[in-house]
Structure 1
Amino acid sequence: MVRRRGIRAHRASVDVWLDVARATMRARYCLCITDAPGGPRARAVQPFRPDDDLVVHFGTSPHSRKAAEIRRSGRVVLSYLRERDGACVTVRCAAEMLEDAAARRRWFMPFWRAFWPAGPDDPAFVVVRCVPFEIELWDARRRVTPPPFGLAQARLVRDPGGEWRIAAA
């Protein structure tokens, strides 16, 4: 570790940075940012926790503007914040709609019945699957604070073989 302005910072490590991203991505809500006509559009969503490959799933209506924008671009940005840790993670993802019954049942939260009364079989419910290809993070508590301190984020990109590597900020 190196010392920087009173905060000890981890040296760059893919494994450490991925662990930090996973911890921050446990937040209950995140912003889902889509590419909309006229500019980006952000909405709060309640995703499932990421799987081992950091793939994220959440529910939406197939008739929403969000769904139309995802279908059009095939991409989203998910932005997570854990204020108590001084942490943020921004995840750029390829995104797709899952409309099959198995996926809808697997990725449905029971209290979502407030939005979709028929549950996972509600025709107004689909699952969005987000596969990350780039992650930017900053975490003061876990000391992922690349130089210059406070002005840069740690950045990971996934190569074509699926492996994560550290990228220039």
Structure 2
Amino acid sequence: MKIIYQLSSMSYQFIHGRTSLIANITLSCSTPDSIPAIQLKNEIKAHAAITDESTSTIIHSTLRTYPLSDAGQHPKNEPLMLMIQRQRTTETVDADGRLPDKLRKTYRDKGFILHEDKKLIIFTKKTNLSILKQNKHWFADRTFKVCLDDYYQLFTL
């Protein structure tokens, strides 16, 4: 492995009456795939593109394969989580305005759409409706924007 040292910045420091030059040296490698941090990022990107696992599961399962001696070279979790989110594709509606099958079901493969037409989609499970039916008092949350631009979220229970 060929290692190249590069002078990235210089600064002067006044210590005990003497001026000293401080040079910050950065390390760059001619074979970047051999650096554990870059290998980790590439592995996480590949994993995120093919799976629906949560971001933390992807990060932890990938980190388990690396030795603890390389832990200081790995990036923090927040940038890795953002990288996973950027790697994943966003789901869009089809030409008829219908949601893709992936968004129509829960993680347990249960139906999650009660009603759908061009102007309205109602997301719920039948068990949620039975719970509402059994209770006299319902508490509602404010609305927030998480839906596609073609739709507008009106109400959340």
TM-score bracket, normalised by the shorter chain, equals under 0.3
Which structure shows the higher helix fraction?
Answer: 2
TM-score, scaled to structure 1: 0.24
Structure with bigger strand share is 1
TM-score by length of 2: 0.25
Task: Return the index of the structure with the highest Cα Rg.
Answer: 2
Question: Bigger relative contact order, structure 1 or 2, given CA contacts below 8 A and separation 6+?
Answer: 1
